Structure 1
Amino acid sequence: MTNRGNFIWYELMTSDAQAAESFYSNVVGWGAQDAGNPNMKYTLLTVDNKPVAGMMTTPEGCNTGVESMWSGYILVDDVDQYASRVKDAGGKVTVEPQDIPNVGRFAVVADPQGVPFSLFKPSLDDRGDFPKPPAAGTIGWHELIASDWKSAFEFYSGLFGWTKGEAMDMGPMGTYQIIERDGAMFGAMMNNPEPSNPPVWRYYICVADVTSAESRLKDKGGQVLFGPVEVPGGQWILHARDPQGVFFALVGPRA
């Protein structure tokens, strides 16, 4: 299966999906389509009418470890087997493997430091020609803020074959370790600069212009937490919270 071990899908669980749809459509430029699920409201967020992420209101009493946050799905060829391997490696399964009719099979898990993510095998091996980073609206970077990035790397590399790229010295913030899959870098790991905050995966949404996106997110009730700051490669990043309080990040050039 191509792209096995890579992030393949992203999902926002939020207290108000309708308000979040309006916010992200304005800030990022996503289109929105109803997924057509008769049992629940699920919205597909699209780039050029092709889905790149999903969104839903957090169900009452939800206890999946992904409450009101962005989460990522990693492609595997056997969800049940990988769920078992997660547990064997010290993680836990918070939602046991189950099927989504005509979509695929998934499980919600957490690494040994408690960071949630999902395992996913789609019903169709060939998902077609979907938009790829750095196209606006795609996810361009994956950043694990860990309690201990070295042990986290051992966990994920053992499961998915991830390898180390460049290690960047961030001074008092420690090492920023680039991570790669099949020789292509897609994210990084670092120790949490604020240990009182829980470890978490951060997903960076690509935009065409960080400056204008920053203006839109402020106009629509979002809050900038950090940045924009320039990063290697001539890109700029910022961290923010949406009006429902969910953390997200943006990456792109700056006009």
Structure 2
Amino acid sequence: MRNPFLHGVGGVLSADIAVPEHERELRFYSKVLTTGSTPLWQDDLTNNQGTPVIGLGERSPEYEALPLQWMPHFQVSNVAESVDLTLELGGQELMHAKGDGGQSQWAVLLDPAGAAFGIIPAVEDQSGSAHHDERIGCISWPSLVVSDVASICEFYEKVIGWSAAPTNTESGFEMLRPDGVAAAEICAKNKDNESIPSVWILSLPVDDFDESLRQVREGGGEIIKEMTGADKHTVIKDPVGVYIALQAAI
């Protein structure tokens, strides 16, 4: 079972980025994500129930150290321990928020391949349901393409609390939460995906896939890799050079 958008250790709660040309970027994503007769996203990039899932912030001096990547926020059991493990395993700490007593609250990190991600304490599910409706607008799937799959899988197993399970694709692994639900995928770089950088690629569902791709081109973005068939899925680059993916809503 695949479902990254769950509460608990290993789940993906949200994602954000701080960008230059903020107004232009907001216009771009607002048009790209709100296509179709029943858009899955609102113009402010909340989903169509008004819940913040992705955040597009201005690139102020406070955020200059952050790379231009969409950064998923992974839930972990202990933020401080995950930060320490990141440093031990060759990653970097970019930001680390602590409370008045010195307790870790959240952090932004880089893995050894250069992919940025955030970590936050695991959030308990108050709804009593383990399912969600993808059509409300959420992160459908995060994926990462790297040269050294084995070491990066081991990194995330230790830092996030995932376990790696081989997929049907060559040299690919689904990263499983402790409850066995797949939350992400890590794939080996090859000739088919060499145009995709080693950053977390977030797939966002859209209501009118073809119209969204038209809006990408019209808004100054670029189609990087388009996959058709039963599962329409395309990696794009936005006007300031940030990579993300669009997925046809089921």
1:140-194 residue CA offsets vs partner (Å, 9 max, x unmatched): 1111111201111111112333223342344xxxx22222222222321112237
Match of 1:185 in 2: 182
Distance in 2, matches of 1:253 and 1:32, equals 18
Q: Aligned equivalents of 1:227 and 1:196: distance in 2?
A: 11
Q: Structure 1 counterpart of 2:11, which letter? A: N
Count of residues in correspondence between the two structures? 231
Mapping 1:136-147, distance limit 5 Å: 137-147=137-147
CA distance in 2, matches of 1:243, 1:63: 18
The letter of the residue matching 1:248 is I
Aligned match for 1:240, one of 228, 236, 248:
236
Residue correspondence of structure 1 range 101-112 to structure 2 within 5 A: 105-112=105-112
Aligned match of 2:38? none
CA RMSD of aligned residues (A): 3.0
Q: Aligned with 1:31: secondary structure?
A: coil
Aligned match for 2:42, one of 31, 34, 38: 31
8 Å CA contact 2:69–2:116 kept in 1: the answer is: no
CA contact (8 A) 2:142 2:201 kept: yes
Deviations 1:58-97 (A, max 9, x none): 1237453x32221111112432232122223332212123
- One-letter identity of the residue aligned with 1:226: K
Which runs of 5 or more structure 1 residues have no equivalent in the other structure?
Answer: 34-43
Q: Which residue of 2 aligns with 1:217?
A: 216
Whether 1:252 and 2:248 are equivalent positions in the alignment is: yes
Contact preservation (8 Å) 2:15, 2:71: yes
The 1:142/1:2 distance shift into structure 2, 3 A limit, reads: closer
Q: Which moved more, 1:143-152 or 1:182-191?
A: 182-191
Letter in 1 for 2:205: C
CA distance 1:93–1:19, change in 2 (3 Å): same
Q: Counterpart in 2 of 1:10?
A: 15
Q: Between Structure 1 and Structure 2, which shows a larger proportion of strand residues?
A: 1
- Following superposition of structure 1 onto structure 2, how do residues 60-209 of structure 1 map, counting pairs within 5 Å? 60=61, 62-64=63-65, 66-98=66-98, 105-121=105-121, 125=124, 132=132, 134-135=134-135, 137-170=137-170, 175-181=171-177, 182-193=179-190, 199-209=198-208
Unaligned stretches of 5+ in structure 2? 1-5, 35-40
CA distance in 2 between counterparts of 1:164 and 1:61 reads 35
What is the aligned partner in structure 1 of residue 57 from structure 2? 56
Partners of 2:199 and 2:124 lie apart in 1 by 29
Number of the residue aligned with 1:38: none
Provide closer, same or farther for how the CA distance between residues 177 and 110 of structure 1 changes in structure 2, counting only shifts above 3 A.
same
CA drift at 1:98: 3.5
Once residues 12 and 214 of structure 2 are traced to their aligned partners in structure 1, the CA distance between those partners, rounded to angstroms, is: 29
Instruction: Give the conservation status (yes or no) of the 8 Å contact 2:196–2:224.
Output: no
Contact 2:67 2:116 in 1 (8 A): no
SS across alignment from 1:45? coil
Q: Higher RCO, 1 or 2 (CA under 8 Å, sep at least 6)?
A: 2
Q: CA deviation at 1:25?
A: 1.5
Change (3 A) 1:167 1:137: same
| Structure-1-length-normalised TM-score | 0.77
Distance in 2 of aligned mates of 1:177 and 1:80: 26
Contact 1:68 1:246 (C-alpha < 8 Å) held by counterparts: yes
